Amino acid sequence: MELKFDFNNMMQSQVGVHGIDPAFIDRDAPLIRKAYQKVMDNRGKGWQEWCDLPYASDEYLDEMISYCGEVGKKAESFVVFGIGGSALGPLAVASSLLHLHHNELPRDKRNAPKLYVEDNVDPERMNALLDVIDLKTAYFNVITKSGETSETLTQFLIIYDKLTKLLGKEEAVKRIIVTTTVGKGTLYNIAAKEGFKVYDVQKGVGGRFSVLCPVGLVTFAVMGFDIKAMLKGAAEMAEQSACADIYRNPALMSAYLKWISMKQGKNVSVLMPYADSLKYMADFYCQIWAESLGKEVDDEGNVINAGQTPAKALGVTDQHSQVQLYTEGPFDKVVTFIAVDEYRSVATIPEGGVDACDFLKGHTMNELINAERKATEFALKKAGRSNFTIYMPAVNEKTVGELIMYFMYDTAFAGALLHIDTYNQPGVEEGKKATFAMLGRAGYEAKLKEVNAVKKESKYII
């Protein structure tokens, strides 16, 4: 494991009364052991098939690298249609490994297609995409595990119609890769009939835990990332997460410390990476943490309304936006920093030039961003605010694989400590039904009546 975790600033010894009493870790050892064992016992079973993803066979990966590598060579643009877990994982990982202005680079400098991860049904966004890609040289990855996601099917229907009209059906078929559950669902049925290339989403891998299955890997292989190195990193973190000793298991330690913090009323969890390349990791974390832990009932059906609201921040940028609140506002949050030891390039502040800011001259931006991160950590600690830091020696396939797997085990352990179903999402059903009703879908007539029965008072409308 190349990542390093520093939990000191979660403890009372560093942050005082709002921190965690170290004796709690011993006191709660039986609970921790039980949660740990639940996750361990279910590896590879039920909704925990994600635990097996790092161990994909070479044969399986080689086919993907070969097929997707060819697509990567032929495509000028590669477009992902997906939403939620089908988009946030691919986006977070791709953003961490690509040039920050990848799509604006000339082809000979980027060595991979332009990448668009389209996870909304805003009509302006769909049309904006069509303004900048050339359909003649574009390839599409349509991702929905269930094969029934309205937003993704909508995008697909619009594009496949255009591709067919422009290129003819034979060529249009070659432009689509479908990532879905083989054997069931609307999208699979279309794919089987039309003859699209299909990658299977394993049965026990849910959307927000799917980035290391074809949901993410297809895109990564198209973009030319070293997916074997990524899975190697994930495997190393999986092994570390299997340590029974909490002092050697960062995912178990962070899950426990955040769980205790929730009990202390800290209902907000901030992820603040100090690297633009990791900005979208906060979006990935927001989904996995919010959707997994935000649950009305526990395993026994008791109403507990569990959950901790994840918040995205970016260092140093949000020092000038959020840190005032973090240092002086309510003691209601845990801040997780991500530090990067070695950035992939250096920017040096020139020695000469205008006569000012002498204390900056000769330093690098690399020194500045790391000094600011340490300073913010110091200021939060001094203000008694709980925080911990994940150190990445560098951002690459291996370390990103470790980070992704850490987030998954962190969430799994936290869900086990909360005694909830980490893997369902019943709270989104009501909205789906109401949407179907408003679009006039057969069978939803009663729901439409219910929606239309809502009466608003005009005095509250301004």
Indicate which residues carry an active-site annotation.
Answer: 291, 320, 432
295/267 Cα distance (integer angstroms): 14
Query: Tokens 């003819």 sit at which residue?
Result: 168
Structure tokens at 99: 């040039």
Nearer to a copy of itself, 56 or 386 (CB): 386
Nearer to a copy of itself, 63 or 450 (CB): 450
Tell me the closest approach of the beta carbon of residue 434 to a copy of itself, in angstroms: 3
Q: Are strands 114-118 and 77-81 parallel, antiparallel or unpaired?
A: parallel
Nearer to a copy of itself, 23 or 461 (CB): 461
Structure tokens at 225: 């990332």
Torsion of CA 376, 377, 382, 383, to 10 degrees: 70
Tell me the closest approach of the beta carbon of residue 291 to a copy of itself, in angstroms: 4
Kindly give, in sequence order, each residue whose CB lies less than 8 Å from that of residue 98, ignoring residues fewer than 6 positions away.
112, 115, 223
Nearer to a copy of itself, 68 or 119 (CB): 119
Tell me the closest approach of the beta carbon of residue 59 to a copy of itself, in angstroms: 32
231 neighbors 242 (Cβ within 8 angstroms): no
Structure tokens at 185: 């669902």
Tell me the closest approach of the beta carbon of residue 310 to a copy of itself, in angstroms: 8
87/230 Cα distance (integer angstroms): 18
Torsion of CA 435, 436, 438, 440, to 10 degrees: 170
341/366 Cα distance (integer angstroms): 9
Tell me the closest approach of the beta carbon of residue 331 to a copy of itself, in angstroms: 7
Angle at 303 between CA 301 and CA 305, to 5 degrees: 125
CB-count exposure of residue 136 (10 Å: 0-12, 13-18, 19+): exposed
Tell me the closest approach of the beta carbon of residue 25 to a copy of itself, in angstroms: 10
CB-count exposure of residue 8 (10 Å: 0-12, 13-18, 19+): middle
Nearer to a copy of itself, 65 or 119 (CB): 119
Tell me the closest approach of the beta carbon of residue 169 to a copy of itself, in angstroms: 10
Nearer to a copy of itself, 181 or 287 (CB): 287
211 neighbors 85 (Cβ within 8 angstroms): yes
CB-count exposure of residue 321 (10 Å: 0-12, 13-18, 19+): exposed
Nearer to a copy of itself, 56 or 406 (CB): 406
167/402 Cα distance (integer angstroms): 41
